[in-house]
């Protein structure tokens, strides 16, 4: 696994911004890099990074999908 610094460098040079989610107090930014997603969690008041997650798929993506009615 890459160090935190190397992850940030790879994300800055090769990552693609995908989506933004705001829950009121926290802002989540989602990026894609190769076959992975990288989520950064930022406190809106302090503007400090308070969390980060790396994943490939799953429920972590649910908050980025807007609620909508599906017509089948």
Q: pLDDT tens for residues 10-28?
A: 888 999 999 999 989 999 9
| Domain limits, the chain | 4-64
Under the banding of pLDDT at 50, 70 and 90, the label for residue 41 is very high
Provide the CA 40 distance to its chain's centre, in angstroms. 5
Model confidence, pTM = 0.77
Q: For residue 30, what are the β-bridge partners?
A: 19, 39
Beta strands in the chain, from DSSP E residues, in sequence order: 16-22, 26-33, 36-43, 49-55
Instruction: Give me the pLDDT at residue 72, please.
Output: 47
Identify whether the C-beta of residue 37 lies closer than 8 Å to the C-beta of residue 18.
yes
The radius of gyration computed from the CA coordinates of the chain, to the nearest angstrom, equals: 14
CATH of 4-64, one of 2.40.30.10, 3.30.67.30, 3.40.50.80, 3.30.1330.60: 3.30.67.30
């Amino acid at each position: 696994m890459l160090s935190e610094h190397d992850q940030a460098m790879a994300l800055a040079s090769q990552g693609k911004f995908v989506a933004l989610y705001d829950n009121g107090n926290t802002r989540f930014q989602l990026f894609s890099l190769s076959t992975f997603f990288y989520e950064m969690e930022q406190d809106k008041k302090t503007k400090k990074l308070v969390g980060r997650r790396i994943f490939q798929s799953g429920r972590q993506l649910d908050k980025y999908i807007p609620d909508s009615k599906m017509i089948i």
